Amino acid sequence: MIRADTERYHLTAPVPWRLVGADISGVSNIVPVFIEGLTPDTTYVFTADDATVSFKTLPCAGLIDAADYGVSETEPDNASAFAVAIAAVPKGGTLRVPKGQFSSRPIFLKSDMTFWLPAGATIAAVADRTDWPILPEHDDTDRVIGTWEGLPAASFASPVTAIGCNNLAITGRGRLDGGGDRGDWWAWPKETRQGARRPRTLFLAHCTDTLLSGITVCNSPSWTVHPFRCEGLTAAALRIENPADSPNTDGFDPESCINIQMRGLHISVGDDCIAVKAGKRGTGDDTRINHVAPTRHLTIANCLMEDGHGAVVMGSEMSGDITDVEIARCEFKGTDRGLRIKTRRGRGGQVARISIHDVVMDGVGTALAVNAFYFCDADGKSDAVQSRNPAPVDDTTPLITDITVDQIHLRGVRHAAGAFLGLPEAPLRGLRLSKVTVDYDADADDGETLMACHLPRARHAGLLHRYAQIETDAALTAMLEDLMDVS
């Protein structure tokens, strides 16, 4: 990373860099710099500006070429060949995918290996889901491995799947194509086929000490990169690309994860760019709760989010608690909402200690959105969920507390600088806003600020709030406005 402590995703001016020991150099316009093909167990020195960083690559126990085990561009399905090649990788070794495009059904990785997808290599999921493996709700040790929108559910395995892996790296400048634009995946976004939900493109469940770096992940059937119940994951210099009209194709969805670093990501998708989750309680007759677990200690830095519904989102699946999240030095461009926190009655759990600072939002609809009346699920628009009368407080009441917003630059805002709607029985508490600058899109039409019932549409609004305790600096006080119902 170049100037990662002072700049966002784009550098203010191009910066020449050099890798001493490999005779590699270049000029970068962005903070993340990804270099592949280095020699294992070797010391290098990276220089940029006046900064110098020395590092040593990890040793490699053996390099396996997937082509030597039958992986071929002419094969209609390389899943079996990949399985043989992966089995041949020694502990601490690397599997290299050759250059070319390789069709495959799901590939299952293992612990203590590097999966290297170099520049010029593409793994493309086959379009036909016949004989596609399905992950059950639970494995034989009762771990949840099939999941859908916060609940255990049978789901099709992902084109690249890792379950219970330790010390796994997935890296390279290659592409992982989930095939969502082929087959029929996008035709049934909220339904099941063959008793299963749509797959993600890269699914990591119950993994520890994982590195994702460099690769481009695209055309996802549903959520794109989904770490579930993982601990100690670093994602750096990834590109995640889905068409803007692709249904529910979130970019990066850490769910019930601990100690996650997301740095230098560029995401443009058909739904939320980064969506932080922590499982959800069942509703109605579904009383399941044992599957939920917390998400905590996340860092999102030097990232670029474009064209999604929300840039960085917490919830709405947050029953296990989402806490201690830092969002720093990022750029949000053209998303419907910038920072978005969403929940509803019945979720329980808390969203707490969220910090966002030094972020530019450009062309965003509602820049800062907190919504405790989010109308998700079949009963989302019912009186029980949407009534503004106080409901009893119990363990199903969601709490939102301690949100810090500082040094935020809003440009071309369409609907509102902020919209904050807590519950009357559990108001939003500890929202602190400072050093927020705003200008508006003169050509904007009015629109929805939050996905909740009974709210007015808005154009060029300031900081709309109801059932929320807000602390602002003097410059922002004049922007506070009541968020009143229209019915």
Catalytic positions: 271, 309
For residue 414, the SS3 value is coil
Contacts of 416 (CB under 8 A, 6+ apart): 365, 366, 367, 449, 458, 460, 461, 462, 463, 464
- Which phi and psi (to 5°) does residue 57 adopt? -70, 155
What is the token pair recorded at 12? Answer: 């203010």
Residue type, 188: W
CB 69 within 8 Å of CB 88: yes
Residue 47 burial class via C-beta count within 10 angstroms: exposed 0-12, middle 13-18, buried 19 and up = middle
Residue 362 near residue 333 (C-beta atoms within 8 A): yes
DSSP count for the chain of H helices, then E strands: 3, 40
Euclidean distance between CA atoms 90 and 70, whole angstroms: 18
The answer to whether 319 and 294 have CB atoms below 8 angstroms apart is no
Q: Which of 431, 423, 416 is nearest to 466 (CA)?
A: 423
> How many CA atoms lie within 13 Å of 245's alpha carbon, on the beta-carbon side?
2
- At position 332, the amino acid (one-letter code) is F
3-class DSSP state of 69: helix
What three-state secondary structure class fits 151?
Answer: strand
Task: Please state, in angstroms and rounded to a whole number, the distance separating the CA atoms of residues 143 and 150.
Answer: 14
CA atoms of 438 and 416, how far apart (whole Å) = 10
Residues 330, 263: Cα–Cα separation, whole Å? 10
